[in-house]
Structure 1
Amino acid sequence: MIRPARTGDDARPPGPSERAAAAVGMGAPAAAVDVTALVADREKWLAKHPDDDASWAVLAGAYLEQARRSADPAWFPKAEKALKKSLAVRPAEKGNFDAMTGMGTLANARRDFGTGKKWGELVRAQSPKRWTAYPVLVDAYTGLGEYKAAQAAMERLLELRPGFAAYVRASQVYRDRGWREDAVVAMEHAAGAAKGPAEKAYTLFRLGELSWERGEAGEALRLYEGALRTDPAQSEAVAGRARALAALGRGGEAVRDYRLALGRTPVPRVALELGELLEALGREEEARLPYDMLGAMAVRDAGANGVDDDVVLGLYEADHGDPAAAVRRLSEEWSRHKSVQVADALGWALHKAGEDSSALEYAKKATDLGLRSADFAYHRAMIERALGDEAATRRHLQEAMRTNPHFSPLRAPLAKEALATIGQPPAGGPENMRPTRPWVAPELPKAAEPAAKPKPKPKPSPSASSL
């Protein structure tokens, strides 16, 4: 049944600011033009209504979405200022859940996962059934390396509010546990729940990342291009396409896309990948530019706006700079965040610094959870090779090549070379595994035949005299 139209009904489709507000409120990506319209709309409104705590929280969410899309941490202080104004109007004690959730989201975006956890748990303690607390908790627990807690928060989120945000977090948790098929299915559910082009493009990008990690470069390229057709402003998909093109041997096109992605959003990971691709192509002089850009971005982000990219910078220093400095940086990061990414990077830095025994302990922490990463397997294999464990080296090199044979333009060829150098185990297996002489069936003693049972004596027949 459809109710009759009323006087206040508006049949017009939602405008850009309304679309962005709905997406931000659901924890979903929004189109760049819609976010810009939302920022302008809320800033204009708050100039006349500064006591609207809900609008301050919405404006902060829009700033955070701008930061995510542009990879510009300069938006973070603006978001923090807006959230603090919202909390000043309506404190946390009075149930300003939108601002509290926003503070947790901001802390996670800055990689301050401990603070994000505190805000998320505060919201959950005051309102256990408020679903918006759980995406914050999943991200915070994951960053801290508390993977069981992240899974529990994800399952609670799916119970309270199955939808785009819940399916995206489910895919993330499954991927971290090494459950690839579950991660893909969850992200496909997120694609089905997407309500706009920006959300759809994000799910296609994430599906492309999952395909890339499985070594399916062609499928990843198709998904990245699908994301760009859906939302041409999806800069993450441009970097993903560059990654896939490099794996397919199209280095020139990959360099073009990497530079395009860096021009749009200067992300440290993209700068590192471009530098390593140029180095692999023999263009060392050109590689210095993204390497220098990487160092400048890390210093700017860490100093000015509270962003911490120590993992990427530590890997860069371990491979292309000062391994001892990488160990110091990553050790400090490990004291704050015990995630598998930090464990892998710290193990690799220790290996480069010559501390292989300690490095192996961290490499095990990175790989034993279940995450299937060719980079992690390669790092562990090289550490084990330095320790003289040839069998373990072979096993993890093979794992790296099975997972993704094109995981790095620099390290994948080194992995193939190392695997060829080690070779295969000798035929016949370890010593004394097989007998030296042909097997002969032993002569077993024959079982004794059972003694024959005595025949029963016939009963005497009665005599005639007895009759």
Structure 2
Amino acid sequence: MRAFAILAGLALIGVMAFTIFSFTAAPAQDPAADRPVTETLQARLKRLPTDYRSWAQLASQYVDQARVTGDPSFYTKAEGALATGAKLAPADDTVLAGQASLAAGRHEFAEAVRLAERSIAVNPYGAPAYGVLADAKTQLGDLRGAQEAVDKMLSLRPGVPAFARASYAAELRGDKTAARRYLDLAQNDAWLPADLAYARYYLGELALHSGDLATAGTWYAKALQAYPAYTPALAGQARTAALSGRLTEALDLYQTVVDRLPLPQYLIEQGETRLKAGQAADWTLLKAQRKLFQAAGVRDDLTWAEFEADHGDPALAVRHARAEYARNPNLVAADALAWALFKAGEPAKALPYAKQATATGWQNPLLRYHRATIERALGRSARVEPGFDPTLSALARFS
């Protein structure tokens, strides 16, 4: 899902390409303030090893790199940088916000909330901490608390990070008009190519999940015009090609995507497109990625619940889904548990979770398809989304 697009893959997002480094206050001036502004953080820390804010900024850069590259080893580097910063200034708001961001990156959302709230207690005007708080509360299913954090962030520092989170909050309550309006604001506010690509990409995602493939394709192309290296937009083009029936084109695009960024979400989408094209799906790399993320302390039962339900062992899917829901009872986790229970032959147990997943008005075609399928299995009348292709369900998940 979008708030952690990078946390859960790129998810969770979720959850945002814009972490605290993008808008953290600069370190305090030092006697060598006339040094070139191009000095790297590593060089600065070699010169000023007690600059705890720079350690926090370096950690945030590492968290960004983990999300952007899909390499979870950057989380370990971030942990080391934050440990140094915390020894120097354990109560500094930027250090605490960095720790919160790292916890969210590892899907430790309750811990992320605790640390973000500590950061806010130290500095109530620190917008970055409110961003992490909004993301983590969304993952914990506290949408009201997440909205409050988003509103505070908007009041403190309106800009791309705040507008993007406000868009997602609106989307979760079913207000696509507001979601689109906030993304328009993000696009208008963006001046970095990557920020502009991000806003355009999610405008494409809104169109895609509304069934408007042509508009989605246009936005993905505009995202790549702004920033050609923006892999999510290339993945968006692969989705539109697959959902339009252009499977050969989609597979070519997916190969480029996973060569650049072999995240679980993209690997699953590629595998489903291969199956749709009559080819065998190879999940070897996907399972290798799972081990890498586990080794780096990233707990992602959600991805594996969804994967096992659609392509593996339903009983294992139920175990993963229950574990995810117990920690993070959000809309997507409720849907994953509902679908896992249904695939395991327990539609009556699945229905309450399917109802929870669709209770806010979120117009997510996958969630609505799952609920309708479960209700039909129980002998109830239910409308299945017209044109929805369950063989490409991963492509309907919000990335």
TM, length-normalised to structure 1: 0.75
The yes-or-no answer on 1:26 pairing with 2:33 is no
| C-alpha contact 2:20 2:60 (8 A) present in aligned 1 | no
- The SS at the match of 1:372 is coil
Distance 1:171 1:39, change over 3 A: farther
Distance across 2 between alignment mates of 1:131 and 1:79: 20
Distance across 2 between alignment mates of 1:408 and 1:255: 18
Map 1:355-394 onto structure 2 (within 5 A). Answer: 355-389=346-380, 391=381, 393=382
Cross-structure match for 1:332? 323
Deviation at 1:305?
1.0
| C-alpha contact 2:89 2:95 (8 A) present in aligned 1 | no
| C-alpha contact 2:193 2:227 (8 A) present in aligned 1 | yes
| C-alpha contact 2:19 2:60 (8 A) present in aligned 1 | no
Cross-structure match for 2:264? 268
| C-alpha contact 1:246 1:409 (8 A) present in aligned 2 | no
Cross-structure match for 1:353? 344
Deviation at 1:411?
5.6
Cross-structure match for 2:291? 299
Per-residue CA shift, 1:304-354, capped at 9, x if unaligned?
A: 112123222111111211100110111011110001111101100000111
- The SS at the match of 2:337 is helix
Distance across 1 between alignment mates of 2:264 and 2:38: 27
Of 182, 192, 195, the match for 2:191: 195
| C-alpha contact 1:144 1:339 (8 A) present in aligned 2 | yes
Structure 1 residue identity aligned to 2:332: Q
Per-residue CA shift, 1:399-428, capped at 9, x if unaligned?
A: x22xxx35554469xxxxxxxxxxxxxxxx
Distance across 2 between alignment mates of 1:251 and 1:138: 37
Distance 1:67 1:251, change over 3 A: same
Distance 1:374 1:22, change over 3 A: closer
Deviation at 1:249?
1.9
Map 1:229-308 onto structure 2 (within 5 A). Answer: 229-283=225-279, 285=280, 287=281, 289=282, 291-302=283-294, 304-308=295-299
Name the count of aligned residue pairs.
365
Deviation at 1:60?
1.1
Structure 2 residue identity aligned to 1:196: L
Cross-structure match for 1:42? 41
Distance 1:222 1:201, change over 3 A: same
Cross-structure match for 2:85? 86
Deviation at 1:293?
2.1
Distance across 2 between alignment mates of 1:261 and 1:338: 31
| C-alpha contact 2:93 2:120 (8 A) present in aligned 1 | no
Root mean square deviation of aligned Cα: 2.0
Distance across 2 between alignment mates of 1:129 and 1:75: 28
- The SS at the match of 2:40 is helix
Per-residue CA shift, 1:246-292, capped at 9, x if unaligned?
A: 12221111111111111111111111111111111111x2x1x2x23
| C-alpha contact 2:20 2:97 (8 A) present in aligned 1 | no
Distance 1:158 1:127, change over 3 A: same
Which runs of no fewer than 5 residues in structure 2 stay unpaired? 1-17, 25-36, 395-399
Per-residue CA shift, 1:221-242, capped at 9, x if unaligned?
A: 1111111121111111111110
Of 119, 123, 127, the match for 1:123: 119
| C-alpha contact 1:67 1:74 (8 A) present in aligned 2 | yes
Of 214, 218, 222, the match for 1:226: 222
Structure 2 residue identity aligned to 1:24: F
| C-alpha contact 2:235 2:253 (8 A) present in aligned 1 | yes
Per-residue CA shift, 1:369-416, capped at 9, x if unaligned?
A: 111111111111111121111x2x2x2x1xx22xxx35554469xxxx
Cross-structure match for 2:12? none
Distance 1:53 1:271, change over 3 A: same
Structure 2 residue identity aligned to 1:273: E
| C-alpha contact 1:121 1:137 (8 A) present in aligned 2 | yes
Distance across 2 between alignment mates of 1:139 and 1:315: 21
Distance across 1 between alignment mates of 2:229 and 2:358: 35
| C-alpha contact 2:197 2:227 (8 A) present in aligned 1 | yes
Distance across 2 between alignment mates of 1:152 and 1:72: 32
- The SS at the match of 1:132 is helix
Deviation at 1:186?
0.2
Deviation at 1:125?
2.1
Q: Report % sequence identity.
A: 39
Deviation at 1:130?
2.3
Distance across 2 between alignment mates of 1:370 and 1:39: 47
Distance 1:45 1:129, change over 3 A: closer
| C-alpha contact 1:39 1:62 (8 A) present in aligned 2 | no
Structure 2 residue identity aligned to 1:243: R
Distance across 1 between alignment mates of 2:329 and 2:39: 39
Distance across 1 between alignment mates of 2:140 and 2:250: 33
The yes-or-no answer on 1:214 pairing with 2:210 is yes
- The SS at the match of 1:211 is helix
TM, length-normalised to structure 2: 0.87
Distance across 1 between alignment mates of 2:39 and 2:259: 25
Deviation at 1:23?
8.6
Distance 1:256 1:121, change over 3 A: same
Deviation at 1:22?
11
Distance across 1 between alignment mates of 2:233 and 2:218: 11
